[in-house]
Structure 1
Amino acid sequence: MSQLQIQLQQTAEPLLNVQEMQFWLDKAVAWGQADSPDTRKDTCLHLSRLRDFLQQLLTHINNMNSTTETMKTLPLLGQFLGRLCWNPYVTTDATSRRLLFQCLWGLYTEHPGNAVERKANQWIRKVLCQLATEDEDAAAQTLMKHTGVPPEEYHLKVLRKRVALLQQSIGKSCSSLGDMNQRCSCDSLLAASEACVPLVTCPEAAPLIGALLQQPGTCVRAALSEDFLDALSSAYSSQRVSLEEQAVVSLWYHNLSSLEEAVLRLLECVLTKTGLTLQKLKQQLTESLLPKACAQHCSIFLVVNDIFRSILKQAEGAESVKYLIQIFTSCFLRELDLLQHQTSVPLKALFPQSPQSLLVPLVTLPSEMPQEAWRHHLNWLSGSLQRLTEEEEEGDGDSSSSTRGHHKVFDAWFLLVQCAHWVQAAVQLLVTSGPEDCGPLMWLLTFLPPPDQ
């Protein structure tokens, strides 16, 4: 009995047929020992069955808890995959090549915890470079010898060239094709993003990563691998990869966890600092790219806004949190104004929970109307908020309507927190107002949501 059979039989629940695994390992060895017409014919005849087996192998790898565990159950797995990756008659088959990529990335460990996983990562990178820069060995060696280019430099240059060609292949989305019945390249996006999983920190792959992230989502087939997005998000948050601004925005658009992490990191950074001036706060918000991302994508703003709502509730209206939300909204509205000729997203879509009668009056800046109109505008705002509060109080007897009323009042208060420029305008007018004009302004300044909100 071979070593591979013994190892597989020691697995509690083997997912692979022992004899079939041994059969394919023997085939891979035989195919690699001789390049003859018979060998090529045998390889081609077995490709269909090989694809099925690679799919089973991929399932087995994905069911393991770690690369270390996988290598314990399949100690010859690296030899098997390596032989296939170096076989041009296997790798020229698109499906086999994709499955090999998936098996390799399934073995890749983002944070290796031992020597086995570190060694496996190094080997996977080497194999991926081979797959990406595959050339006829004799021709490549001759070229390197005559040009005097070191092998590492040669392969890096070829890798960059292949990355550029792959960029071109994914460059045409459905919207750029004249004939909608023409096959688009969106099918290749998933495969390309899967192939990038172990390469997200490689500088040579940066152009391809940027191109993948910025593909327009005009087609249902234009989906990126979740593993690719998660690996890229982890690498970016740990500063192991540098992304251009638009690539960061696209990453947040595609990956919710990455966006949430960026918002929470911003909150932690800002709220733990003392003595932060308005200018420095605006600078920090701008550098975070979040206001710009929110202006470009309504869905990003809705997520960020929801996080702010939740944090404000937990902080019970803490002034530092309110101030941050106010300045963030101000930066967001400024970015939105810069994009007004490019986007037509209505305010209602950006603030769906806010009372619509109050939305435009609150979002409008005091500088956008004559100062003599401020008092009338503020009196109207104060009266509208008072009526909303009274309607909520009148509905206290009905639990369902009371709950809806409480939410309405909180949503109105949250919008006022975001648009605190009118609170500041009320303070400014209060200084010069007589006793008879102070009532509505004072009410506006003391307006709070229900205690249970």
Structure 2
Amino acid sequence: MAQDTTVPKLNFEYWLDKAIEWGQTTTLESQKDVCLHLPQLQEFLHQLYETIKHLDPTAAIQQFPLIGQLLGRLCWNPFVIGYDESQKTLMWCLCCLYSSEPQNAVELKANSWIRSLLCHLLSSSKWESNEAETSTFISALGYTSADYYCHLVKNMVVSLVTELRENQFNGLNIQESISARRVNAISIFCVPLITLPDLTPLLETLLLYHGGSSKEVLSSEFLEAVNEAFLKNALMETDGTSEVMTIIKVFTQLFLLAYQNENKQPKFPLKAYFPYHHQPLVRSLVRRPFELSTTYWSQHVKHISDMLKALVEDTNVSSLTDLFEIWFLVACFGEWLDIATEQLLKAAVEPDPVLWLLAFYYCPKNENQQRTQTMVEAQAVYNHLMMLFSCTDLSLKDLEAAVHRVTGIEQCCNQRLTTHLLTSFLLFSSGGHKIAQECIYHITEITDTSKDVYNLLIHTAYRLNHSGEENQRTVKLINELLQKLKLKV
């Protein structure tokens, strides 16, 4: 049975009642009660964070309408934020509610409120003076708290960036002005604030930092947080843009090539690079096509599809994170997706497993049976193309039904899958070669698929360039198509 990972409503209300009860009082009884409940509160906050980090800010607030009131009260409780772990988790939760692209006045106001709370937490930490010590000074200057905290964060970021850069360009290197321990501490400090726009200059400086030490000075937690945030700026916000996916696919191929060529040097096993994934699936995906005879490709593709389907339909895959990690693994090894499509059109493999594999890649979430509908669309296009695959004399009119499915489809995932099938047909059928330029020009003129086709051609060319002389005719065609499409992307 899949485990319920949501935060129980009763538990949420309990902690809200507690936060209201504690208020901002500093009585001995209140302090004792906070200290008594800190371990359970930290566990609750961590559970809350694990839930809302997978949601966009609007969805998080819809699921927990009183989350702002709870976090706000806890952030202003000196005994709660005096505990480093609680302070850090509160920062994480607040960052999850921050809208990177606010769409209305409500979201703008919410962002301003969140920034003020984050700045308050920073000013209350060991990095700056305690709030109690600065409040009188702020009032004397005539600033509001929000104004002061925003200036405080900007000044702190500028100060740390200057400190890192001055050390970086200390050419004489007679005496380091900043220790590796200090840089490591700064990187740890940034972890809960990775997605806060004001910290961008500091993050960039840290990632470009090269100290005198031969070892990595940045904390592993910082590097993991940056990586996770990047995958979300690169994949989720761009909705799986084809350029990003092409970079990921080609990078993975180059990584495997370098990994396999370093035979004389000690190296980690491959599972160290993919530790959270289903290892039998990893082992199947990392097999390079040239390692297998082409007669075994269809069998290998079916094996991958069957294994993947069993994983995805397993009831233990309970969260979007699990599903995303499985999908991302398949996306990294997109070479097998292209081979699967090629084998499908050459009638060298059972169609159902390959169609399911492609439907999963283009539609990983099966909300409202969307993946099932994607398979139906793909099946119809496949049946039409298979009737034409052996024809040596084709016209654009012969492909009219398939082209219409590309130009007339509203759902993005269905359009991308259909475009993939049709482009592969034009590349790998003899009749398709003759009308490839005309057909692709027609499709890209009336739809927004130029980038998808262009990037599909790029990583197909990369694969074929490393697979021998028999594909040179197709590679030549791809290069001609790429030259034509350059002006459109």
* TM-score where L is the length of structure 1: 0.43
Q: Which has the higher contact order (CA 8 A, sep 6+)?
A: 2
Q: TM-score, normalised by structure 2?
A: 0.40
